[in-house]
Chains A and B, each alone.
Chain A
Amino acid sequence: MVNQAIVIEADRLTRRFGKTLAVDGLSLAVERGEIFGLIGPDGAGKTTAIRLLAAVMLPTAGEARVLGFDTRRQAERIRQAIGYMPQKFSLYGDLTVRENLDFFADLFNVRGAARRRRLDELLAFARLAEFTGRRAAALSGGMQKKLALACTLIHSPQVIFLDEPTTGVDPISRREFWDILSNLHVQDVAIFVSTPYMDEAERCSRVGLMYAGRLTECDTPDALRQLAPGELLAIWTPQIMQARAVVSALPDVLEVQTYGDLLHVFVADAAAARPRLVQALAAANVPITEVKRTSPRVEEAFISLITGKRRPITDH
């Protein structure tokens, strides 16, 4: 029985480039109306994974199906029903906004009144309506990405693949971009997006963590946050390296992560550990600007998993 709700599925998908194993046995299933976020460090294999799923590249082993069609043998059926936005800007720089949209509308056979309506819609939500005559190469980075997204959506696909769509885009444009995606989500479009931005991972229905070609975790953001060890204390200090050295040496500290002048300390019991931390730092003459209890985000969980420094929670 084919589950109609599952629109993207992969079964031990593998892709090798010479000796390098870019994607290693990827298996997942995404349902209609889900926003699935693929996160992972550079070189984890995210772009290759998306290319395999979007039937742009053939796998070395394994299977993938989109909307029930096999990516190896029924690629053309898939192409008519999905949208794909590659990581690198790949529209025609010397064509105008309008000409690019018209070109893709022609290729996807969106014509006549339907095309006019669709283009007006897309130009409106991408805020490109005043720039229809401008050459794509002359647009700002954010606008280019929004144009690329518009071209991806011309034929109202049910499934879209976006490869790092907001990389290099200013924060305001990023927010606008995700507003567009939320809108699509409401319309039951399945969105498969890869992103290096952890805050975007928080907005997904489910998140997959990819590392060295493997999908190491795959769950809701809530569930992933729990994977961060213990409770979290945030300490702001100007002498971050010394603070880190002092804190790492303490017995009830599970893990330490640094962010510029911010120290994230994972402990089993935040209330109990806090005075001890403050004391230890004062004793070492490390000034503290602020100490605060915070909740871990997907980002902390992710870094914890990647660095593999999970230590068992000690019982008190």
Chain B
Amino acid sequence: MRYLSALVRILAIMRKEFIHIRRDPRTLAIVIILPIFQLIIFGYAVTSDVKHLPLAVFDQDRSAASRALIDAYRTSGYFDIAFYASSHGEIAYLIDAGQARAGLTIPPGYGDRLARRERAEVSFIIDGSDPTTANTALASATAIGQAHGADLLQTALRRGGTLPGVLPGVEVRTRVWYNPNMVSAYYMVPALIGLILQTLTALLTAVAIVREREQGTLESLIVTPIRAAELILGKIVPYVVLAFMDMLLILVVGTYWFHVPINGSVTLLLALAALFLMSSLGIGLLVSSAAHTQQEAMMMAFFTILPSVFLSGFMFPIASMPPVLQWFSKVIPLTYFLVIDRGIVLKGNGIAILMPQVTTLAALGVVILSLAVLRFRKRLE
């Protein structure tokens, strides 16, 4: 009999809990939407497949043979011919700027050498910043070249002829730029800076403002002469300071423990981090104007952090994602900051190369922040 009353009591709590859930539409929405979200992300974005890597090609030979080689790379699916460069310098620039992940240089006389049944060399440069992509790129570059060479050999043999002393073929000389040993930490640690900055500022700002609303102290503040902008600024600055302290901590630990080399200017990194913060603070403010409780604020902030982690190129290459998700990553501020961040740390990029990302980040920041400030009203609803 005792167990029956225990069961009844347990059921009473369960019933009450279901009522709470039913009457909290936001939590319900998240419970339904989140798995779908995660399915899409894990199905498409989280991929160790490396495909459609942007490749820059410097074809100095311009023969039918060189075009055949380029085609071999294209049809493999691993590379997209993104640029036809006209100099070594251009390839270097494209890789530095992150617009190409690999560069193929075909020297003059490539076709002739093949015609003479000699070995022809081509040079393949890979951006080693992201070790996962780099490894696959490395393997595929060599494999595709060799497969192409084997094809040529087969064709040659079918036409009949003697086997020469040295087997003709294509030799792919690979070089890995930046992070030549492809240490994972070198890629992840700088990216972590971006992630922490975004998480901290968006989440803590949202919670800080909503906390005032939840505790009722917002009502006391409304009747003082304080302006909306003053309140917002006063609220965000401490979290910005905290975020910067965290950033420096990560840099220090990264440098001294993980031995991540910082090839660029730390000052520039900090300055551009401040620019990035405009966007994440704006997101935090937007969330705070929509949430009524701290719990809601945290859930909504988390919801914006999730796509940032998976779709910004933090772990998984954007190039390998389906076009829809690639489009999505274009509106995520972290995407641009990661290029800036890794560019400065791993490639020693200066502001000149990073201008496209800087301007986009600035534009995003201004838009989001303005929207957030406009929505913040000094009145009770």
| Shortest Cβ distance from residue A148 to the other chain B in the assembled complex, whole angstroms | 8
- In this assembly, does B216 line the interface, its C-beta being within 8 Å of a C-beta of chain A? yes
Report yes or no: B223 in contact with A56, Cβ–Cβ below 8 A: yes
Most buried by A among B215, B220, B227: B220
- In this assembly, does A57 line the interface, its C-beta being within 8 Å of a C-beta of chain B? yes
Q: Majority SS of interface residues in chain A?
A: loop
| Shortest Cβ distance from residue A11 to the other chain B in the assembled complex, whole angstroms | 20
Residues in B with CB closer than 8 Å to A108 are 224-225
Residues in A with CB closer than 8 Å to B223 are 54-56, 79, 82-84
- In this assembly, does A219 line the interface, its C-beta being within 8 Å of a C-beta of chain B? no
- Of A85-93, A113-121, A191-199, A274-282, the one contacting chain B is A85-93
- In this assembly, does A216 line the interface, its C-beta being within 8 Å of a C-beta of chain B? no
Residues in B with CB closer than 8 Å to A93 are 215
Q: Which of B217-250 contact A (CB under 8 A)?
A: 217-227
Residues in A with CB closer than 8 Å to B221 are 107
CA separation between A88 and B220, bound complex, in Å?
Answer: 10
- In this assembly, does B158 line the interface, its C-beta being within 8 Å of a C-beta of chain A? no
**Contact mask for chain A residues 299-315; partner B; CB cutoff 8 A; 1 contact, 0 none:** 00000000000000000
Given A86-B219, A90-B216: A57 and B380 interface contact (C-beta under 8 Å): yes
Report yes or no: B226 in contact with A107, Cβ–Cβ below 8 A: yes
Report yes or no: B226 in contact with A56, Cβ–Cβ below 8 A: no
Residues in A with CB closer than 8 Å to B23 are none
Given A79-B223, A82-B223: A56 and B380 interface contact (C-beta under 8 Å): yes
- In this assembly, does B379 line the interface, its C-beta being within 8 Å of a C-beta of chain A? yes
CA separation between A88 and B212, bound complex, in Å?
Answer: 13
CA separation between A45 and B223, bound complex, in Å?
Answer: 20
**Contact mask for chain A residues 63-83; partner B; CB cutoff 8 A; 1 contact, 0 none:** 000000000000110011011
Q: Which of B311-327 contact A (CB under 8 A)?
A: none
Within the complex, which residue of A58, A79, A86 is in contact with B224, where a contact is CB–CB below 8 Å? A79
Residues in B with CB closer than 8 Å to A91 are 217, 220
CA separation between A109 and B226, bound complex, in Å?
Answer: 10
Q: How many A-B pairs with Cβ below 8 Å?
A: 49
Q: How many residues of B contact A (CB 8 A)?
A: 16
| Shortest Cβ distance from residue B112 to the other chain A in the assembled complex, whole angstroms | 80
Report yes or no: A109 in contact with B225, Cβ–Cβ below 8 A: yes
Within the complex, which residue of B215, B217, B225, B379 is in contact with A56, where a contact is CB–CB below 8 Å? B379
Report yes or no: A76 in contact with B225, Cβ–Cβ below 8 A: yes
| Shortest Cβ distance from residue A57 to the other chain B in the assembled complex, whole angstroms | 5
- In this assembly, does A244 line the interface, its C-beta being within 8 Å of a C-beta of chain B? no
Residues in A with CB closer than 8 Å to B222 are 56, 79
Residues in A with CB closer than 8 Å to B224 are 79, 104, 107-108
CA separation between A107 and B222, bound complex, in Å?
Answer: 11
CA separation between A90 and B223, bound complex, in Å?
Answer: 12
Q: Which of B57-84 contact A (CB under 8 A)?
A: none
CA separation between A56 and B377, bound complex, in Å?
Answer: 11
Q: Which of B185-224 contact A (CB under 8 A)?
A: 215-224
| Shortest Cβ distance from residue B293 to the other chain A in the assembled complex, whole angstroms | 15
CA separation between A104 and B222, bound complex, in Å?
Answer: 12
CA separation between A80 and B215, bound complex, in Å?
Answer: 23
| Shortest Cβ distance from residue B224 to the other chain A in the assembled complex, whole angstroms | 4
Residues in B with CB closer than 8 Å to A109 are 225
- In this assembly, does A51 line the interface, its C-beta being within 8 Å of a C-beta of chain B? yes
Residues in A with CB closer than 8 Å to B379 are 56-58
Residues in A with CB closer than 8 Å to B216 are 86, 88-90
Report yes or no: B225 in contact with A90, Cβ–Cβ below 8 A: no
Within the complex, which residue of A90, A92, A104 is in contact with B219, where a contact is CB–CB below 8 Å? A90
Given A56-B379, A58-B379: A107 and B219 interface contact (C-beta under 8 Å): no
Residues in B with CB closer than 8 Å to A104 are 220, 224
| Shortest Cβ distance from residue B46 to the other chain A in the assembled complex, whole angstroms | 42
CA separation between A225 and B218, bound complex, in Å?
Answer: 39
Closest Cβ neighbor of B226 among chain A residues = A107
| Shortest Cβ distance from residue B313 to the other chain A in the assembled complex, whole angstroms | 41
CA separation between A83 and B225, bound complex, in Å?
Answer: 11
Within the complex, which residue of B215, B217, B225, B378 is in contact with A107, where a contact is CB–CB below 8 Å? B225
Report yes or no: B225 in contact with A80, Cβ–Cβ below 8 A: yes
| Shortest Cβ distance from residue B161 to the other chain A in the assembled complex, whole angstroms | 88
Residues in A with CB closer than 8 Å to B217 are 90-92
| Shortest Cβ distance from residue B240 to the other chain A in the assembled complex, whole angstroms | 21
Within the complex, which residue of B220, B225, B226, B227 is in contact with A86, where a contact is CB–CB below 8 Å? B220
CA separation between A75 and B380, bound complex, in Å?
Answer: 13
CA separation between A55 and B216, bound complex, in Å?
Answer: 16
| Shortest Cβ distance from residue A153 to the other chain B in the assembled complex, whole angstroms | 13
Report yes or no: B220 in contact with A90, Cβ–Cβ below 8 A: yes
Residues in B with CB closer than 8 Å to A151 are 220
CA separation between A89 and B217, bound complex, in Å?
Answer: 8
Given A56-B379, A56-B380: A90 and B226 interface contact (C-beta under 8 Å): no
Residues in B with CB closer than 8 Å to A107 are 221, 224-226
CA separation between A75 and B226, bound complex, in Å?
Answer: 12
CA separation between A7 and B377, bound complex, in Å?
Answer: 26
CA separation between A88 and B218, bound complex, in Å?
Answer: 11
CA separation between A11 and B347, bound complex, in Å?
Answer: 68
CA separation between A151 and B224, bound complex, in Å?
Answer: 11
Other contacts beyond A90-B216, A107-B226: 9, CB < 8 A? A55-B223, A76-B225, A80-B225, A86-B219, A89-B216, A92-B217, A108-B224, A109-B225, A151-B220
Report the 6 A-B pairs with minimum CB-CB distance, sorted nearest first: A90-B216, A107-B224, A84-B223, A90-B220, A88-B216, A86-B219
Chain B residues at the A interface, C-beta cutoff of 8 Å: 215-227, 378-380
17 contacts between A and B (CB under 8 A): A54-B223, A55-B223, A56-B223, A79-B222, A79-B223, A79-B224, A84-B220, A86-B219, A88-B219, A89-B216, A90-B217, A90-B218, A90-B219, A91-B220, A93-B215, A107-B221, A108-B224
